[in-house]
Amino acid sequence: MKFAIALFSAAHAPSSRRALLFAQAALAGGHEIVRLFFYQDGVYNASDAVVTPQDELDLPKQWRAFITEQQLDGVVCIAAALRRGALNGEEAKRYQRDAVSVSAPWELSGLGQLHDAAQDADRLICFGGA
């Protein structure tokens, strides 16, 4: 089965961990992930600026490792990212900001990427959100 996964929750939310565990289990079960899409507060999972306390799971680090190791498509909604100050090099330059907090393997792109992933997948699974 082909899954598209959308995450709407910040890194400290339980649903972020559940999404990662689901994605890992899906691949371990022989399924395919066509895209991971991080939207709303989910963009914080892609931020290099998040500092996790030593006694907590560093989910942004775990997401980065998972996406890199599995060579997955990790897309961060550009509008949600800009609103939350999560910028890659290109957007930091465009908006004349010094801070870059989103880097590879993440890609900033539009909400259309979620739509495309939903069309390519057998199932769209969403975690978090209101």
Q: Per-residue pLDDT tens for 30-73?
A: 999 999 999 999 999 999 999 999 999 999 999 999 999 999 99
pTM surpassing 0.85?
yes
In the DSSP assignment, the letter for residue 121 is S
- Beta bridge partners, 107, equal 75
Which residues carry out catalysis? 77
Residue 129: predicted pLDDT: 74
Q: How many helices (H) and strands (E) does the chain have?
A: 5, 5
